[in-house]
Amino acid sequence: MTYPANSPAPVDPERLEKLAEVAVKIGLRLQKGQDLVMTAPVNALPLARLITKHAYLAGAGLVTTFYSDEDATLSRYRYGPDESFDRATDWLYEGMAKAYANNAARLAIAGDNPMLLSGEDPAKVARANKANSMAYKPALEKISNFDINWNIVSYPNPSWARQVFPDDPAEIAVGKLADAIFAASRVDQDDPISAWEAHNANLRKRSSWLNEERFAALHFKGPGTDLTLGLADGHEWHGGASTAKNGITCNPNIPTEEVFTTPHALRAEGFVSSTKPLSHQGTLIDDIQVRFEGGRIVEAKASKGEAVLQKVLDTDEGARRLGEVALVPHSSPISASGILFYNTLFDENASCHIALGQCYSKCFLDGAKLTEEQIKSQGGNSSLIHIDWMIGSDKVDIDGIKPDGTRVRVMRGGEWV
């Protein structure tokens, strides 16, 4: 067996090729003549090259890739001037926003070491994150508002693999992580394209049922959790493939096991506990417990990473309110793997979850036609952040509550009823 050039450890080249093809044909459904803006860690070069190849085979106009490097990132924190942590490359994000306004597609390859910044000054990390979020907002809005087709896939970066499989030698860890990524992304099958079409059909069935029920709220009940979560007025459930405002139907997240919608920013009441750790900007935040009043988090604690959690909640007014609720069965393939990925793209698809911060405008009926003020008036939240954390398990039950108070069983023991 041979491996892609510059690959730091054995990664099955046939499955890596399939992942690149799935990213372009299912994730993006890239159109002939459409430009593509891609970001990737330098270690993901083999996958970035294959995606570029398949993008041009699909008729892409221009493919432009921006690479990040962990060593360069650490150099900034260790040697950069203090004032630099209040700045970000706004000129770059302005250019990205312009590209998206001209209908360029967006693809991100994830795979950075999730604990990269764990040893750095948390105040600097928080300042840099805030500056970056503010600078990135013009580009992020094109993505969060689903103006364009976009997608995220992952590559088994060695530093990430060592976090997931700390007891294994580097090459074994990378191989295990690669296998887990390929399985979750459905590229370990003979015909991944057909497998994704079938999976999307199943997720559509789930979201269609939820949309027909028109619940006013969801009630989560389990150990450390008794949360009534009001849903936004005119909310709409989505799952799997969705159609962007540019008319292209794409799968933004690979993998995905969720159906999701927008909660009402003012209507969360009760308390909820996390069921899996949250890896955020180099810090592991574990045993999160929060209490909501009037949709706002009024109490929050964690057994690990509480100081970072508090800084996240203080990002802006919307950071203490919710922008997403997602339902995922406990028996999902990612949950069944038993692996903690330290990567939200994967870990959120192992469990039901909620997200602090920015909502998705597409999760409203006729969301493409609504203004920001209309979305706000219907309960949509606005924030610089969007951070998912997991609240589901095989011990959590969920009921849907109709406008008249009628309750319908949605999940029992973490499984669809």
In the block, tokens 């989505």 appear at 238
Going residue by residue through the chain, which has 417 residues, state the pLDDT in tens, using 9 for 90 and above.
333 444 445 699 999 999 999 999 999 999 999 999 999 999 999 999 999 999 999 999 999 999 999 999 999 999 999 999 999 999 999 999 999 999 999 999 999 898 898 889 988 988 998 899 899 999 998 998 889 999 999 999 999 999 999 999 999 999 999 999 999 999 999 999 999 999 999 999 999 999 999 999 999 999 999 999 999 999 999 999 989 999 999 999 999 999 999 999 999 999 999 999 998 877 889 999 999 999 999 999 999 999 999 999 999 999 999 999 999 999 999 999 999 999 888 998 999 999 999 998 889 998 878 999 999 999 999 998 999 999 999 999 999 999 999 999 999 999 999
Model pLDDT, residue 122 = 84
In a domain, 7, yes or no: no
In a domain, 249, yes or no: no
Question: 149 and 70: one domain?
Answer: yes
pTM for this predicted structure:
0.86
Question: 168 and 231: one domain?
Answer: no
Q: What angle do CA 105, 148, 341 make, to 5 degrees?
A: 75
Model pLDDT, residue 3 = 38
Question: 154 and 271: one domain?
Answer: no
Helices 306-313 and 122-144: crossing angle in degrees, nearest 10, is 50
Question: 51 and 142: one domain?
Answer: yes
Question: 318 and 390: one domain?
Answer: yes
Question: 219 and 153: one domain?
Answer: no
Q: What one-character-per-residue DSSP string does 113-146 give? A: -TTTTTTS-HHHHHHHHHHHHHHHHHHHHHHHTT
Question: 369 and 220: one domain?
Answer: yes
Model pLDDT, residue 174 = 95
Model pLDDT, residue 6 = 42
Question: 299 and 224: one domain?
Answer: yes
Dihedral over alpha carbons 135, 139, 145, 149 (to 10 degrees): -150
In the block, tokens 């997403």 appear at 324
In a domain, 200, yes or no: no
Model pLDDT, residue 291 = 98
Dihedral over alpha carbons 119, 125, 126, 131 (to 10 degrees): -170
- Domain limits at 396? 214-235+257-416
Strand segments, DSSP code E, in 150-256 are 150-154, 217-222, 225-231, 238-239, 242-243, 249-250
In a domain, 195, yes or no: no
- Between the alpha carbon of residue 11 and those of residues 52, 110, 219, 223, 341, the distances in Å are 18, 16, 43, 40, 18
Question: Residues 172-187, buried b or exposed e (16+ Cβ, 10 A)?
Answer: ebbbbbbbbbbbbbbb
Helix segments in 343-388, DSSP class H:
344-347, 372-377
Helix (H, G, I), strand (E, B) or coil at 107: strand
Provide the domain count of the chain: 2
Distance from C-alpha of 132 to C-alpha of 88, rounded to nearest angstrom: 5
Question: 272 and 327: one domain?
Answer: yes
Helix segments in 8-121, DSSP class H:
13-22, 45-57, 70-79, 90-101
In a domain, 300, yes or no: yes
Distance from C-alpha of 362 to C-alpha of 244, rounded to nearest angstrom: 8
CB neighbours (10 Å) of residue 98?
A: 13
In a domain, 2, yes or no: no
Closest CA to 384 of 323, 315, 322: 315
Domain holding 139: CATH number?
3.40.1830.10
Q: Which amino acid is at 183?
A: A
Asked if residues 349 and 256 have their Cβ atoms less than 8 Å apart, the reply is yes
Q: What one-character-per-residue DSSP string does 275-297 give? A: SS-EEETTEEEBS-EEEEETTEE
Question: 21 and 145: one domain?
Answer: yes
Helices 13-22 and 170-184: crossing angle in degrees, nearest 10, is 40
End-to-end CA distance of the chain: 45
Model pLDDT, residue 8 = 47
In a domain, 248, yes or no: no
In the block, tokens 């939240």 appear at 381
Model pLDDT, residue 2 = 36
In a domain, 31, yes or no: yes
Question: 225 and 314: one domain?
Answer: yes
Question: 45 and 121: one domain?
Answer: yes
